[in-house]
Each structure stands twice: as C-alpha cells, then as structure tokens.
Amino acid sequence: MGHGFDVNLVIKYLPDFWRGTLATAWISGASLGLALLIGLIVGLSRISPLPTPRWIARVYTDVIRGTPALMQIFFIYFGLPSVGIRLSAPLAGVLALGINSGAYISEIIRAAIQSIEHGQMEAARGLGMSYRQAMRRVILPQTVRRVIPPITGELISLVKGSSLLSVISIGELTRVGTQILGVTFRPLEAYLPVATIYLLLNAGLTQLTILLEARAARYE
C-alpha cells in the first residue's frame, strides 16, 4: 500500500462509481414512489372517520417506525422465501425501503392535513361536498406545499438509507465502494468518492426543495 491519495486510482474506477450512483438514484426514486403511495393511503387512513382504517394504519406506523430498517430488509429478502415468496434483491430492496419510508411519510401527510384549519372542511361539507370530495378538492391541494420540505428530507434519508441494501448484494454506491476496497485495499480512494457522491446528491435534493417551495409559493 502506498501513501497519500491516488487520484489515478479513483479515475480508473469512475465507471464503477457511476454505475453505483445510477443504482442508488434508481432505487431511491422507486422507493420514494412506493413510499408516497403508501404514505398517502396510510396518512388518510389515520384521520379517517372510520375506526378500522385508523387502527390498521396506526399498527402499521407503530410497527415500521419501531423496528430497524435493516431488520425489515432482512425480513423481506430472507424471511419471505420461507413462506414461498421469493423476490429479487432489487425488488426486495425497493419494497423494504418503500414500506419503511411510507410510515414516516404517512405521518408527514397526516400532520400537514391536520394543520389546515378545520373550518375549511366544515365549509366544504356545508357546500354539499362529500368527505372525499372535500379532501380531494379543498384539503389535499393545500397540503402539497406544506409537505414538500419534509418529504424531500425523507428522500434524502432514502438516498442515505439505500446504503443498507449493500447487505443483500445490491450494487449501489456503498456496495461499489466495498468492492473497490476489496480489490485495491485503499479505503480512502474507495470511500471518499462514495461520500462525495452522496453529499452532491443530497445537496442537489436540498436545492430542489428550495426551488419547489418557491414555485409553490408563487402558485399560491
């Protein structure tokens, strides 16, 4: 092993870092899409006038938020095959991260909806709208701007959390860094680019939040 930082070694493995970056972006984006769907359904269920959906949604959020994401990944990838459900590593990873993040997004959506003045729902119902119509036409449009910053923060957590998927051999950034380390035995050259890419990805997402907030404010 030599001393110092070998830039040429990093350049040599740039295609591998790029491949890991694309895998991380794809997994994070797919997981967020699933998480948004789950979060919206569960968030609305948490404030449903019906007790059964509220109870199911509460159990889901308590279980998912109360257990480590790594254990959820292990359960889906290694546990489900014991009952005959076998998933590929990428699908299991997206499913695990989506289910995990969905619990947190559901709370974001629930809190945002409940922060809107209750009188608006009463006014909509007074105009003859059903509960669903009032939610779709009056409450949810106002909710969008309020959830942009926390949901972007959750996406940043997803990007970082995707590193956990290296334990099931998915070729995201952290896995790529570990593979390069195994070949070169140079931890600085293997992991410093990985950390830098994570930082750049999350800085970009932070800037995106600022732009989306400004656009939503102009629209409002």
CB 145 within 8 A of CB 213: yes
CB 170 within 8 A of CB 91: no
Residue 47, H or E segment: none
pLDDT over threshold 80, residue 213? no
CB 56 within 8 A of CB 50: no
Calpha distance 218→220 (Å, rounded): 5
Phi first, then psi, for residue 127 (nearest 5°) are -85, 0
| Mean pLDDT to the nearest integer, 3-7 | 84
SS3 state at 200: helix
Instruction: State residue 33's pLDDT score.
Output: 96
122: exposed, middle or buried (Cβ count in 10 Å: 0-12, 13-18, 19+): exposed
Instruction: State residue 212's pLDDT score.
Output: 80
pLDDT over threshold 60, residue 1? no
Q: How confident is the model at residue 3 (pLDDT cuts 50, 70, 90)?
A: low
Calpha distance 30→56 (Å, rounded): 25
> pLDDT tens across 89-121, in order?
999 999 999 999 999 999 999 999 888 887 787
Query: Among 6-20, 40-54, 136-150, which is the least confidently predicted range?
Result: 136-150
Instruction: State residue 95's pLDDT score.
Output: 97
Length of the chain: 220
CB 70 within 8 A of CB 161: no
Rounded to 10°, the helix 14-46/89-115 angle is: 40
| Structural domains in the chain plus CATH codes | 7-219 (1.10.3720.10)
118: exposed, middle or buried (Cβ count in 10 Å: 0-12, 13-18, 19+): exposed
| Mean pLDDT to the nearest integer, 189-197 | 96
pLDDT over threshold 90, residue 18? yes
Query: Among 24-38, 61-75, 130-144, 197-211, which is the least confidently predicted range?
Result: 130-144
